[in-house]
Amino acid sequence: MLKISIVENETRRRVVLEGKLVAPWTDHLKSLCQRTPDDPDGRELILDVRGLTIISSEGEAVLRTLMLEGAKFRGSDIFMKQILKNLARRDTRADGKKKA
């Protein structure tokens, strides 16, 4: 089970995640975080992942996609910070160059 809470203001949209980030909740999170036509200026998206207890490979894929789309992350423990660091590293090719 995944609990998703959203806190919004004029400049930011903070999505607080608690529980297990696994299918089918991964698709729900991705669609929830995509920009909508009624938000053309694109408020800053912040994902608060401090409450996640389990992240499946599908969950990692969604977090990586959101990261590549410019989402910011808020994590507190070493485990979560390491997961986010590993996801960011996946954006580099084997030859060490960043993807365009």
pLDDT digits (tens, 9 = 90+) for 1-47: 999 999 988 889 999 999 999 999 999 999 988 865 566 567 889 99
Three-state DSSP state, 84: helix
**What CATH number is given for 2-89 in this structure?**
3.30.750.24
pTM of the model: 0.77
Confidence (pLDDT) at 95: 46
Domain ranges of the chain: 2-89
pLDDT at 100 over 90: no
Confidence (pLDDT) at 99: 47
Two structure tokens written together for 27: 């698709």
DSSP state of 98: B
Q: Measured between alpha carbons, how far is residue 91 from residues 38, 72, 80 in Å?
A: 30, 15, 18
> Which parts of the chain are beta strand (E)?
2-8, 12-21, 44-55, 72-74
Confidence (pLDDT) at 17: 95
